[in-house]
Amino acid sequence: QKEVEQDPGPLSVPEGAIVSLNCTYSNSAFQYFMWYRQYSRKGPELLMYTYSSGNKEDGRFTAQVDKSSKYISLFIRDSQPSDSATYLCAMSLIIQGAQKLVFGQGTRLTINP
Amino acid sequence: NAGVTQTPKFRVLKTGQSMTLLCAQDMNHEYMYWYRQDPGMGLRLIHYSVGEGTTAKGEVPDGYNVSRLKKQNFLLGLESAAPSQTSVYFCASLGDKSYEQYFGPGTRLTVT
């Protein structure tokens, strides 16, 4: 069983829709919970992070963490074609003084105009 | 600032050939990482470094070697390339905050 599981999609929705992306994890030692966005043929970029259970909002994006269920989500409101990308969840932990990230498989999202 | 840069952007190798991928960062970051990204697999950690002169193995280190002779550079070597090493390779460095890794643009490697 992978430490982090993410539905790879692909997911295709119309412009303006609410998008929900989800990951589950198995390691209780994870400290930070992140979402990276990766445009085609580019490197991933950090979109949001959180370290506690609950919701965190940033504009049209909301990151949600439920540590009791080991489940994280990213919601995108009023989705735009520019949101079309692959979204990767990532969890971090410190091992021997070094941060390590464990990534989900990534969900490819397309927003149709 | 250029951030994290990677050289080359593309490369095609024949089985058994060797090559070195170069990662450079100009943010004075201590930590640097090499990942590979394959369809359906996400990003997997190959090797990482916590500072100049130090390296450590990640999740999938076999067939790769690394060196960090200078703080700003992290090299990934393939001594004898295999088709299973066909992938997109990303380098990342860790900023002052403990959670944000900055990624380079990637190197697309094909081994035939």
pLDDT of residue A57: 96
Regions of chain A with pLDDT less than 50: none
What digits encode the pLDDT tens for the residues B41-67? 889 999 999 999 999 999 999 999 999
Strand arrangement of the beta sheet that strand B65-67 belongs to:
B4-7, B19-25, B73-78, B65-67
Does the pLDDT of residue B95 top 90, yes or no? Answer: no
Does the pLDDT of residue B85 top 70, yes or no? Answer: yes
- Give the other-Cβ count within 10 Å of A56's Cβ: 15
Q: Sort out which chain B residues have CB atoms less than 8 A from A88's CB and list them.
A: 42-43
3-class secondary-structure state, position A33: strand
The answer to whether the Cβ–Cβ distance between A43 and B105 falls below 8 Å is yes
Q: Sort out which chain A residues have CB atoms less than 8 A from B106's CB and list them.
A: 41-43
The answer to whether the Cβ–Cβ distance between A104 and B45 falls below 8 Å is no
User: With an 8 Å Cβ cutoff, is A32 touching chain B?
Assistant: yes
The residue with greater pLDDT, B97 or B48, is: B48
A41/chain B closest Cα distance in angstroms: 8
Could you tell me how far CA A38 lies from the centroid of its own chain?
Answer: 11
pLDDT of residue B97: 62
CA count, 13 A, side-chain hemisphere, A32: 20
Q: How far apart are CA B85 and CA A100, in angstroms?
A: 22
* Percent residues over pLDDT 70 in chain B: 96
The answer to whether the Cβ–Cβ distance between A34 and B4 falls below 8 Å is no
The answer to whether the Cβ–Cβ distance between B43 and A98 falls below 8 Å is no
Closest Cα partner for A34 from A53, A51, A57? A51
